[in-house]
Structure 1
Amino acid sequence: MFSPLKKGDIIGIYSPSKPASVTAKARYERGKARLEKLGFVIKEGILTGKADFYRSGTPKERAEELNLLLRDSEVKMILPTMGGTNSNSMLPYLDYAAFKENPKILMGLSDVTAILLAMYAKTGIPVFHGPSVASTFGEFPPFVDFTEHYFKQLFMQQLKLPYKMPIPPIWTDDRINWLEKSSEKTQHKNAWITVQDGVAEGRLIGGNINTMCGFIGTPYFPTIKMGDVLLLEDTSKTIEVVEKNFAMLKLHGFFDKASAIILGKHEQYDDLGTGRKPYDVLIEQLEGRQIPIIADVDCSHTHPLHAMPLGLRVYVDASHKEIHFIEHWLS
C-alpha cells in the first residue's frame, strides 16, 4: 500500500486552517527542523508564510495547496502545519481522484479529521490520525522524543504485526511556553483507563468529535459500519460541549454499531465543577450498552502522541488496556 519512508523522501506540508507558519512560526520551524534531522526533504505548500487573519487562505486556496501536494508523485507523506476550525470548508474542492491514483501517507489530527475522513470516504485508502508539524513535532523534549520514536516505528520500517501500541511513561497537556521553552512542563505519570471491560476487533474510524460536527451526514463522511471501533478525541472543551458532541454521535447511531470505543486524552478539559470525566458523560449516553472502552489513550492533543490507522482493523482489549494494530499499511 505504502512504502516505508526513508532518508531523502519528500514530505509535503500544508496549512488547512490556522496559518501556523506565521502565528506559531518558532514552533513550526522547530517541527520542520526535527523532520529534516530525520533525513526528510520538506516541500512547503504555497500558503507557507501567508495568513488571512484566522486562516491561511480562502477555502479554494487552501484546497489548492493540498491538491498540488496530492498530485506530486514525488511526495511520499503529507502533514499539516496545524489544525484549526475550518478544514471542512475545503472538502468540496479537494482532488480525491489524485489521492486515489497516487496514494501517499496522509496524516494529521484535530480539525484535519475532516480532510482525513473525507479522503477515506471517497477513496477507501487508509489515513492516519497523528502528528502535525508545528503542534506535535514542534513540542519540546522529553515528550516529543517519544512521539518521534513512535513515528519511526510506524512509518520508517516494516511493522511486525500484531503491533501492541505502547503506553508512554509520561504525558503533559501544559499550554505554557508553547512557542519558546523557558521552564519545564508538568510531567504526569501515565496510565490508560478501563472504562468498560471486554475485547473487540474492527475497523478503526473516527477522530476529533468537534470537527465531525462540521460535516457528519454529508457525502464526505464515511458510513459507520456494524463492528467499527470508534476513535474519539477532543481538546479544550467544557463538559457541556462534551455531552452535546457525544449525544450527536448517539443520534447518528454510532453507538448502536460500535464494537469498542477508544477515547483519547482530552487536553485542557473543563468539568465545570462536576468532577465528571468525559467517559462519565459517554457512559450516560450509552444507556447501559456494554461495549469495551479504553480512555486516556495517547492519540490526541496531549504529548506524546501516537498515530492511529483509520480505515484498518485493530484489536482492543479494554480489560488489559491494550490496543493492537493487526492490518498492514506498509508494503
Structure 2
Amino acid sequence: MANSPLIYPEALKKNSKIGITGPSGGVHERFTERYNLALNHLIDQGYEIVEGSCLKGEFKHVSGPKHKRAEDFMNLWMRDDIDAIIPPWGGELLIEILPLLDFQKMKEAKPKWVMGYSDISTLLFPLTLLTGIVSVHGTNLLEMIPAQTDDLTKNCLLALTKEQGSSITQKSSKFFQTKGPSFTNEFEKGFNTIEQTLWKTIDNTPCIIKGRVIGGCFDTLTHLIGTPYGNLDGFKKLAGSDGVIFYFENVESSPASIARILWSMKFAGWFEGVNGVVLGRSAAEVVTNENNLNYVEVIIEFFKELNLPLIYDADIGHQQPNLTILNGSLAEFSADEMGKGLLITHLV
C-alpha cells in the first residue's frame, strides 16, 4: 500500500537470498554443527544463502572488531540481490557498531528484512526509528532447525513472505522452555517446551492493545535511552492516530534494575502517547524471598500508576518460543482470562 507510513521490504519467496553475518556475537567452532543444521534448513525451504565475512568464530563476546562487523553488515545491506539479513544469534556488544552504520545510505538502498532478538534488537530498534524500515523481532537463526515442533518457531518466517497490505495471526504457544538443550552435544534437538504458556494481564481481565509496535530487549535498549538511537519522536509521528505499542523482554536484569529502566524510559518521555505495553517472560533469576522485590510486583505497580494496559508473560524473549513481531507494523495484541493470547499483524 503506497500510503503506508512505514517501508516494508519485499516479501520473501523461493530463491530469495538471505545474508548471514554476526553484527554482535559470532559462531564459535563448537557450534558449527548446529549452525550448519540451521543453514541447511533454510536452503531446504528454498532460500539461497550468502555468508558474510564476519561470522565464523567468536572472541571476547564478538564475531570480530567493531569496524569489521559494521562493514560486513553494510556490504550485505547495499547489495540489491540480498532480500533479508539474519544474524546467527545475539550477543553483548552490538551497540559498538551503531555509530559506524550509515542509516541514511540504508534508507536509500533496497530495504531488507533484518531478523533476530536479544542483542540484535539493539540494531532493530534504531533501524526502524531512523529509516522507517520495518524490522523483525523473532526467532534467531540457530533456533531455526527441523526438530522444532511449536507453531511459532516452525512458521517464524511466514510473516516475511506476506505481501504488503495483508494480515497474519499468531496464537500464543501451548508450552515454553526455561532451559534448552545444548547447541553442542544436543545440536539436533528443538526447544524443551514443558512449561504451560499463560499470557497474563493486570487483574487477570481480558485485554486488547492496538497500535504501531516497537520494542526489544530491556537489558540492551536501556542504553539507547536519551541517544539518537532511541529517539522515538519521529516514530510517534509516523504512527499518528494509530498510536504506539511497546514490547520488551528481560534477560537477566533484577527487579530493581527493571524498575530503574522503566523510570528512565518514563523520564525520557517514552510512554507518552503509548496505547499499551506487552512484556515477554522474564528469563532472570526468580525471586522467592517474600521480603524482596519481585519482577511482577515491579511491572504491575509501574503500569498501574501510568494507567497503561499491560499484557505480560507473552511469547517474547529468552524463554522460547518467540512471536514474529514486525517493528513498525500495525498490531493487535489480545489476552483473555484463560491465558490465551493472539497477535494480529497488519502489514500496512
What is the TM-score with the length of structure 1 in the denominator?
Answer: 0.87
Give runs of aligned pairs for residues 56-75 of structure 1, distance below 5 A.
56-75=63-82
Structure 2 counterpart of 1:41: 48
Give runs of aligned pairs for residues 185-264 of structure 1, distance below 5 A.
185-195=192-202, 197=205, 198-223=207-232, 225=236, 227-264=243-280
Structure 1 residues 157, 171: CA separation in 2 closer, same or farther (over 3 Å shift)? same
Structure 1 residues 300, 318: CA separation in 2 closer, same or farther (over 3 Å shift)? same
Please, which runs of 5 or more residues in structure 1 have no aligned partner?
none
- 1:278-306 C-alpha deviation (Å, 9 max, x unpaired): 33211222352322211111122222222
Structure 1 residues 21, 67: CA separation in 2 closer, same or farther (over 3 Å shift)? farther
Structure 1 counterpart of 2:311: 294
Structure 1 residues 218, 289: CA separation in 2 closer, same or farther (over 3 Å shift)? closer
Give runs of aligned pairs for residues 80-229 of structure 1, distance below 5 A.
80-100=87-107, 101-134=109-142, 136-138=143-145, 140-143=147-150, 146-152=152-158, 154-158=159-163, 161-181=166-186, 185-195=192-202, 197=205, 198-223=207-232, 225=236, 227-229=243-245
CA contact (8 A) 2:315 2:321 kept: yes
Structure 1 residues 230, 168: CA separation in 2 closer, same or farther (over 3 Å shift)? same
- Using the alignment, how far apart are the partners of 2:336 and 2:18 within structure 1? 38
Counting aligned pairs with the same residue, the percent is 24
**Residue 165 of structure 1: how far off its partner (Å):** 2.5
Structure 1 counterpart of 2:346: 327
The one-letter code sitting in structure 2 at the alignment partner of 1:2 is: P
The one-letter code sitting in structure 1 at the alignment partner of 2:346 is: E
- Using the alignment, how far apart are the partners of 1:37 and 1:305 within structure 2? 22
Structure 1 counterpart of 2:322: 305
- Using the alignment, how far apart are the partners of 1:10 and 1:161 within structure 2? 22
The one-letter code sitting in structure 2 at the alignment partner of 1:265 is: R
CA contact (8 A) 1:28 1:138 kept: no
Structure 1 residues 238, 90: CA separation in 2 closer, same or farther (over 3 Å shift)? same
Give RMSD over aligned pairs. 2.7
Worse overlay, 178-187 or 6-15: 178-187
Structure 1 residues 137, 270: CA separation in 2 closer, same or farther (over 3 Å shift)? same
Structure 1 residues 98, 256: CA separation in 2 closer, same or farther (over 3 Å shift)? closer
Structure 2 counterpart of 1:314: 331
CA contact (8 A) 2:201 2:311 kept: yes
CA contact (8 A) 1:208 1:233 kept: yes
**Residue 94 of structure 1: how far off its partner (Å):** 0.9
SS of residue matched to 2:223: coil
- 1:25-58 C-alpha deviation (Å, 9 max, x unpaired): 3332222222122111111111122333321111
- 1:115-150 C-alpha deviation (Å, 9 max, x unpaired): 11121122111111112212x22595334x641224
Structure 1 residues 163, 3: CA separation in 2 closer, same or farther (over 3 Å shift)? same
- Using the alignment, how far apart are the partners of 2:176 and 2:334 within structure 1? 22
Worse overlay, 108-117 or 238-247: 238-247
Structure 2 counterpart of 1:25: 32
Structure 2 counterpart of 1:2: 9
The one-letter code sitting in structure 1 at the alignment partner of 2:229 is: Y
- Using the alignment, how far apart are the partners of 1:26 and 1:212 within structure 2? 31
CA contact (8 A) 2:9 2:134 kept: no
- Using the alignment, how far apart are the partners of 2:293 and 2:251 within structure 1? 16
**Residue 86 of structure 1: how far off its partner (Å):** 0.7
Structure 1 residues 318, 170: CA separation in 2 closer, same or farther (over 3 Å shift)? closer
CA contact (8 A) 2:12 2:160 kept: yes
The one-letter code sitting in structure 2 at the alignment partner of 1:168 is: S
